[in-house]
Amino acid sequence: MSAATPIQLNVNGANLTVTVQPMKRLLDVLREDLHLTGTKEGCGEGECGSCSVRMNGDLVNSCLVPVLQAASTNIETVEGLARDGILHPLQQAFLQCGGAQCGICTPGMLMAAKHLLAYNPHPTMAEIREGLAGNLCRCTGFMRIFESVLSAARSTTQETHAR
Amino acid sequence: MLCVNPYGASHFPTMSTPAKNRIVGTSVPRKEGVDKLRGTARYIDDIQREGMWHGATVRSAVPRGFIRSIGFDRKIDWSEFGVVTAADIPGENHIQMIVADQPCLADGQVNHCEEAILLIAHPDKHKVREAVDAVHVEYDLLPPVFSIEESENQQTVIWGADNCFKSFQLEKGDVDSVWSHATHIVGGEYRTGAQEHLYIENNGVIAEYSVETGVTVWGSLQCPFYAHKSLLAVFNLPPEKVRVIQTETGGAFGGKEDYPSVIASHAALLAMKCGHPVKMVYDRVEDLAATTKRHPSRVRHRTALDANGKLLAMDIDIATDGGAYSTLSSTVLSRATLHSPGPYVCPNVRIRSHAWATNTVPYGAFRGFGAPQTVFAVERHMDEIAASINIDPIELRRRNFIHEGETTATEQLMREPIILDKLLGRALVESNYYNKRAEFAKENSGSAIKRGMGIAAFYHGSGFTGSGERYLNSLAGIDVTAEGKVRVLVSSTEFGQGTNTVLTQVAAEILGVEYDDVIMAPPDTGIVPNSGPTVASRTAMVIGRLIERASQQLLSMLREQASLPEQFSRQQFFAACEQLRKKAGEVVSLCRYEAPPDIFWDDQKYRGEAYPAYGWSVQIAQVAVDTVTYSAEVEEFWSAQEAGRVIHPILATGQIEGGIAQGIGYALYEKVVLQNGRMANNQMTNYIMPTAEDVPPIHVFWEELPFGHGGFGAKGIGELPHDGPAPAILNAIRDAIGVSFNSIPLLPEDLFAKLSIAPKVEEPASV
Amino acid sequence: MRGNAAEHELVAPGSLPAVLDLLAGAPGQWTPIAGGTELMVAFAAGRLTASKLVSLWGVEELRFFDTSPDKLIIGAGTTFSDLRSNPIVAADFPLLDKAASWIGSIANQTRATLGGNLVNGSPAADSSPALLVYDAEIELISVRGKRCIPYREFHTGYKQNAMTADELLYAVHLPRRFANHRQYLRKVGTRRAMAISKVALGATALLKDGAIERIRVAAASLAPFPARLGKTEAALLGHRLNPSLIETARNALLAEAQPIDDIRSNAQYRKSVGANLLEEFLRALLSESAAK
């Protein structure tokens, strides 16, 4: 048995402390302890990418991160994308291009797309495909998602994403 | 912001008729899109209830047997848990589908692995898991049946008198009179495997129970009134004591049509037993192993043609594997039967079909509902015929396409224009079909990669089969709230396809209000009328039409009772609504389904108007077969279709693309590996669906022919695209390497098994 | 989610000496966990048997590249993303670069480590064929000190290796002498991305006057662990490359390979495709040498 331990996290810009089992998955901490249910669980084995978040600027599957390994890191989730009620350019593009259907893969897909554009603001189709390959979408056949990412990349309002 | 087209101009949804409406025909933002994009949309696992417990299921470890004993390990303090067995069921121990043969919980006997035997709940979900492992069930094994062949030979009878859930026979003309004088007779056998829906959100519900209010279930589901019906029977309650509320649903594809009735009953029984709300959300491993899949099939064709390649007779024998209980097998078989002859006219057609019982998890609804199986067979068969009688496969199809004024196998007279030739022409031009085939024929000989082009032409019937829509007798409508919002009142659900958006567009268009003025009423059986299930590509056509009529009816009411002028503004509309509210107390308009006139259907002979309308499509696949690894990949895909009026171009195109991606998976990747009747690859890492790197560029082309009896002229779209990819792809593989494959999924191992021993070119067997 | 966090202790001592002390203090009791891409899957499935885990994530002493003129040393905690962005790996060890790009998805590559891939010891491990044909050495560390062993001797059986209970995999050493070799690596997976390999084959070779002067061939999923194909190499070494030698080599591989049937593929397919991959490499070599 193991004891709950206080662990500090910065989530979407807010510093906070959770007192949880160190092996608890970051996914479960986000969803259960912080009530950030935008991050989804689709498979629990790092295959579907629904739980994708960024951890210190890296894209991770939060189902595969024991929260102790996220201690003192900056975590970005889908809830942090829109600022002051204004949708992030990627959200806007997904809305306009039909990038979301059932919506369950969407939060993870947005985080993967954000990660891709953060390092590569003008990706090729091949790069988009590779960047999103870890995020399974069963509804769209991906075409509208690719369009959404390309549109966001070309959008003049695209904010610069610092590493 | 403009959407950027990654694959050249042709990739954009292209419309053959310009939109003439204000809102219908435009790509407004998805109604619930912002919530989904912000992560605030609430799916079932995002919801907690006060005092909620977690439920889990003890499942059968064997495919068939008597339950000898159920032991409870003493290491667990069972007094902490709620435990439900069949004996706790207050009503009928049956899931209400078509035939009441599937128990809610196994009682004395199990008929498939993973069948639910016992339910457990506890406040701590980890303890529930431990408790499930601490229940020891012993069985007296019975011999199982695992294949269509074992079931149809009836040496072991596992269901009814003869293992047969349902059979159909229909005959047009006189097939047996043809064989003796036909120039060509070509036979073939085609098989399709099970397919998993792989919605990214697993099945899940939350249930509450109280003596006063009865049962309330929230869940990820397609058909609130299906679950409602099952709960009524399981709890023996009157309709007002059962309430089913759909939560945001993360993909369904038919996989949340019938199964939610099972899990909803389970959670509700636990809630009653524990006196607490109970959440049951499956993890991926359980969802894959225990819930429905697409029916496997075997289809045999024997076809007679004259010297000009015109069809003289089609004799078709269909067998599907239905799994352990009948669930929806009879209606899946019906649709399979009605789609089996393909989009061709033939004077003599005989179709015999059977759905057989096996000791596997019951097969259920999945996008296409039997059609992808038989369309695979007939469209693969057409290429075999073409090869056999030495005619171009395109030309063979063109010579036999059905046209307006001709009759189908059920002798349905096609009253609407059919533009298959136009769709074919479009697909051929856009794909550069003939030039590419010529080019590949040249390049292939010197290359380890062999390329080919393949085609499929097909239809998909919109709405329920035969008299189904009349039996459903759907009721739907709109009301206007005191806050000045128009609400759409339907039990039709949103699970990604765009129900919310499309029905909102229809109401807003007719009522002359803005898109944002219209909202959806909660999909709650306590609030909305029963507009039927959200299945069978029926929503835009049937429910769209009801909303269109209800909106027109409301305008008439407002004109008659609230002096709304003939031409009116948005403000005048809402002012008139308030006037009506003062008079009548409410502003509501409901309409009931009315069948199009001249519809005739004979359920006994399976003759008449099988469907009120059909969507039509021609698809072309370009494939590459790597002879080093025996893998086949789709390099590019084209789809031209006519499905009535396109209400929302981007959503409609998204349906086509998504269906094609699933169809590609069905053809080349997705295999349900059964061992002793249990799915052995029940993890996402081992059930292989195409990723963003595997789905090729897909090009979608629309032709629009508004249908007089669909919402704003719409016909069904959702299922159509899944019917064609598998045959188009396997036809392309034959074109690439000259070897026929008649079974899907076609994995590299299957290509290897045949190519490593096969002669270079193989001709189909003439019978 | 079938695992219970309360049943697994996880500590993060933070430094390499502290981790080694922990391992030495209770040999065999602590299971190291780096990026979690393997163990956390087992955890969620309720299959994780380890009750005490020690985190290697963030142990900076394990995450490094040490470059010298004749060697590249890669810390075991280096992620596959790190590998993909290292210019020496790209220039001198392109097969490893390629293999890194095949690991799962971007989100897996940012977490999965080279050491984890090797210690996990899957027969299908993506990085193994490349390391085997580059003559990699494995450096192990414990409180007792460091030792090096050839990577080809590291795996000793299905999911078994040469490490002792108190040891950690410290680094992988790659000799920088393959730049002039012809190199080959191909993975045949279940799909293009996010795929577990059904079979993968790597090779490096040097040709002299039309004969094979040096040859290394290694495979994943053709044996209970990733391994060099010694008999296949022997069939090629020193011989003149021609179509009949290619046939001989194919047969040697078919005789030497010991793949299994499982839910992802079958033995016959794995063997034959393995032979096809070898043939693809040798044919490319042949046509190249003929062109010269």
Select from C12, C44, C106 the Cβ nearest to the Cβ of A68.
C12
A1 touches chain C (CB under 8 A): yes
Report the number of distinct structural domains present in chain C.
3
B669 touches chain C (CB under 8 A): yes
Chain C hits for A46, Cβ within 8 Å: 37, 40-41, 104, 107-108
**pLDDT bracket for residue B596 (50, 70, 90):** confident
In a 10 Å sphere around its CB, with 0-12 CB exposed, 13-18 middle and 19+ buried, how is residue B432 labelled?
middle
- In this prediction, residues B602-630 reach a mean pLDDT of 96
**pLDDT bracket for residue B7 (50, 70, 90):** low
Parallel/antiparallel/unpaired status of strands B486-489 and B518-520: parallel
C169 with C221, same domain: the answer is no
Distance CA A111, CA A131 (A): 11
A75 with A105, same domain: the answer is no
Q: What is the pLDDT of residue A157?
A: 47
Tokens of B205: 């519900």
- In this prediction, residues B160-185 reach a mean pLDDT of 98
To the nearest 10 degrees (0 to 180), the angle between helices B570-584 and B544-561 is 70
C47 with C77, same domain: the answer is no
In C, minimum Cα distance to B281 occurs at C1
Chain B hits for C269, Cβ within 8 Å: 630, 748-749, 752-753
Domain boundary pick from A46, A80, A114: A80
- In this prediction, residues B130-149 reach a mean pLDDT of 98
C132 with C188, same domain: the answer is no
Cα–Cα distance list, B748 to A37, B53, B235, B668 (Å): 40, 46, 49, 8
**B702 φ/ψ angles, rounded to the nearest 5 degrees:** -110, 140
Which of C76, C41, C83, C39 lies closest to C59, judged by CA?
C76
* Long-range contact pairs involving C19-24 (C-beta distance under 8 Å, separation at least 24): C19/C54, C19/C56, C19/C59, C19/C168, C20/C141, C20/C142, C20/C143, C20/C166, C20/C168, C21/C143, C22/C54, C23/C54, C23/C142, C23/C143, C23/C165, C23/C166, C23/C167, C23/C168, C24/C142, C24/C143, C24/C144, C24/C166
CB B717 within 8 A of CB B400: no
Does the distance separating the beta carbons of A140 and B661 come in below 8 Å?
yes
CB B511 within 8 A of CB B569: no
Does the distance separating the beta carbons of B669 and C192 come in below 8 Å?
no
Count of CB pairs separated by less than 8 Å, B with C: 64
Tokens of C64: 């490094």
Distance CA B354, CA B332 (A): 11
- In this prediction, residues B430-445 reach a mean pLDDT of 97
Does the distance separating the beta carbons of C188 and B748 come in below 8 Å?
yes
A151 with A112, same domain: the answer is yes
CB within 8 Å of chain C, chain A residues 108-147: 112, 115-116, 129-131, 133-136
Chain C hits for A71, Cβ within 8 Å: 12
Does the distance separating the beta carbons of C9 and A52 come in below 8 Å?
no
pLDDT at B76 exceeding the cut of 90: yes
The alpha carbon of residue A102 is apart from the nearest alpha carbon of chain B, in Å, by 4
A43 with A76, same domain: the answer is yes
Q: What is the pLDDT of residue B761?
A: 44
CB A98 within 8 A of CB A144: yes
Residues of chain C with pLDDT under 50: none
Strand partners, B17: none
CA count, 13 A, side-chain hemisphere, B242: 21
- State the CATH number of the domain containing residue C189: 3.30.390.50
C189 with C161, same domain: the answer is no
Does the distance separating the beta carbons of A22 and C107 come in below 8 Å?
no
Tokens of B500: 């919310």
C148 with C194, same domain: the answer is no
Dihedral over Cα of B497, B498, B503, B506: its sign: negative
pLDDT at B459 exceeding the cut of 60: yes
CB within 8 Å of chain C, chain B residues 437-466: 448
Q: What percent of chain B has pLDDT over 70?
A: 96
CB C123 within 8 A of CB C220: yes
CB within 8 Å of chain C, chain A residues 48-87: 49, 52, 58-61, 63-66, 68-69, 71
Edge-to-edge strand ranges of the sheet holding A58-61 = A14-20, A5-11, A74-76, A52-55, A58-61
Q: Among B71-80, B756-765, C62-71, which stretch is predicted with the lowest mean pLDDT?
A: B756-765
CB B456 within 8 A of CB B618: yes
CB B699 within 8 A of CB B693: no
pLDDT in tens, A123-137: 999 999 999 999 999
A94 with A69, same domain: the answer is no
Q: What is the pLDDT of residue B8?
A: 44
Counting every residue, how long is chain A? 163
- In this prediction, residues B627-656 reach a mean pLDDT of 98
Does the distance separating the beta carbons of C269 and B749 come in below 8 Å?
yes
Does the distance separating the beta carbons of B692 and C193 come in below 8 Å?
yes
Structural domain that includes position C156? 61-175
Find which of A2, A73, A128, A129 to mutate to test the C interface (most C CBs within 10 Å of its CB).
Answer: A2
Q: Is the ipTM of this complex over 0.90?
A: yes
Structural domain that includes position A131? 89-162
C65 with C169, same domain: the answer is yes
Domain boundary pick from A17, A52, A80: A80
Cα–Cα distance list, A141 to A44, A98, B231, B428, B602 (Å): 22, 11, 35, 22, 39
For B726, the enclosing helix (H) or strand (E) is: helix B725-737
Compute and round to an integer the Cα radius of gyration of chain A.
16
C50 with C84, same domain: the answer is no
At residue B485's C-alpha, the angle toward residues B482 and B486, to 5°, is: 110
**pLDDT bracket for residue A62 (50, 70, 90):** very high
A48 with A71, same domain: the answer is yes
Q: What is the pLDDT of residue B112?
A: 98
A55 with A95, same domain: the answer is no
CB within 8 Å of chain B, chain C residues 262-281: 263-266, 268-269, 272-273, 276-277, 279-280
Does the distance separating the beta carbons of A91 and B6 come in below 8 Å?
no
C112 with C26, same domain: the answer is no
In C, minimum Cα distance to B690 occurs at C191
pLDDT at B453 exceeding the cut of 50: yes
Strand partners, B602: B607
The alpha carbon of residue B245 is apart from the nearest alpha carbon of chain C, in Å, by 25
Q: What residues have CB less than 8 Å from C238, skipping those under 6 apart?
A: C211, C212, C213
Does the distance separating the beta carbons of C2 and B283 come in below 8 Å?
yes
pLDDT at B421 exceeding the cut of 90: yes
A93 with A136, same domain: the answer is yes
Q: What is the pLDDT of residue C291?
A: 81
Domain boundary pick from C125, C154, C175: C175
Chain A hits for B251, Cβ within 8 Å: 101-102, 104, 138-139
- State the CATH number of the domain containing residue A74: 3.10.20.30
Supply the DSSP string of A50-90, one letter for each residue.
TTEEEETTEEEEGGG-BGGGGTT-EEE-GGGTSBTTBPPHH
Domain boundary pick from A80, A98, A121: A80
The alpha carbon of residue C106 is apart from the nearest alpha carbon of chain A, in Å, by 6
Q: What residues have CB less than 8 Å from B516, skipping those under 6 apart?
A: none
C39 with C83, same domain: the answer is no
**pLDDT bracket for residue B5 (50, 70, 90):** low
- In this prediction, residues B306-328 reach a mean pLDDT of 98
Domain boundary pick from C121, C144, C175: C175
**C142 φ/ψ angles, rounded to the nearest 5 degrees:** -155, 180
pLDDT at B760 exceeding the cut of 60: no
Q: Where are the alpha helices (DSSP H) in B403-464?
A: 420-431, 433-444
pLDDT at B766 exceeding the cut of 50: no
A95 with A70, same domain: the answer is no
pLDDT in tens, B219-259: 999 999 999 999 999 999 999 999 999 999 999 999 999 99
A42 touches chain C (CB under 8 A): no
A70 with A98, same domain: the answer is no
Which of C110, C275, C91 lies closest to C201, judged by CA?
C275
Q: What is the pLDDT of residue C289?
A: 85
**C64 φ/ψ angles, rounded to the nearest 5 degrees:** -155, 160
Q: What residues have CB less than 8 Å from B446, skipping those under 6 apart?
A: none
pLDDT at B147 exceeding the cut of 70: yes
CB B596 within 8 A of CB B413: no
Q: What is the pLDDT of residue B19?
A: 45
C94 with C10, same domain: the answer is no
C74 with C127, same domain: the answer is yes
pLDDT at B762 exceeding the cut of 80: no
In C, minimum Cα distance to A57 occurs at C110
In a 10 Å sphere around its CB, with 0-12 CB exposed, 13-18 middle and 19+ buried, how is residue B153 labelled?
exposed
Q: What is the pLDDT of residue B6?
A: 54
Domain boundary pick from C120, C149, C175: C175
Q: What is the pLDDT of residue B150?
A: 98
Is B626 in a helix, a strand, or coil?
A: strand
**pLDDT bracket for residue A1 (50, 70, 90):** low
Question: DSSP code of A44?
Answer: S
A17 with A59, same domain: the answer is yes
Distance CA B558, CA B574 (A): 10
**pLDDT bracket for residue B3 (50, 70, 90):** low
The alpha carbon of residue B454 is apart from the nearest alpha carbon of chain C, in Å, by 21
pLDDT in tens, B507-529: 999 999 999 999 999 999 999 99
- State the CATH number of the domain containing residue A158: 1.10.150.120
C23 with C92, same domain: the answer is no
Q: What is the pLDDT of residue A155?
A: 86
Per-residue burial over B534-543, b = 16 or more CB atoms within 10 Å of its CB, e = otherwise: bbbbbbbbbb
A22 with A69, same domain: the answer is yes
pLDDT in tens, B485-494: 999 999 999 9
A109 with A48, same domain: the answer is no
pLDDT in tens, B534-576: 999 999 999 999 999 999 999 999 999 999 999 999 999 999 9
- State the CATH number of the domain containing residue C48: 3.30.43
**pLDDT bracket for residue B757 (50, 70, 90):** confident
CB A89 within 8 A of CB A159: yes
In A, minimum Cα distance to C4 occurs at A24
pLDDT in tens, C5-54: 999 999 999 999 999 999 999 999 999 999 999 999 999 999 999 999 99
Report the number of distinct structural domains present in chain A.
2
- In this prediction, residues B638-664 reach a mean pLDDT of 98
CB C226 within 8 A of CB C216: no
Q: How many CB atoms lie within 10 A of CB C16?
A: 18
The alpha carbon of residue B28 is apart from the nearest alpha carbon of chain A, in Å, by 8
Q: Where are the alpha helices (DSSP H) in B7-161?
A: 33-38, 125-133, 148-153
Tokens of C120: 């996990």
Name subunits touching B (3+ CB pairs < 8 A): A, C
CB B371 within 8 A of CB B299: no
Q: What is the pLDDT of residue B12?
A: 44
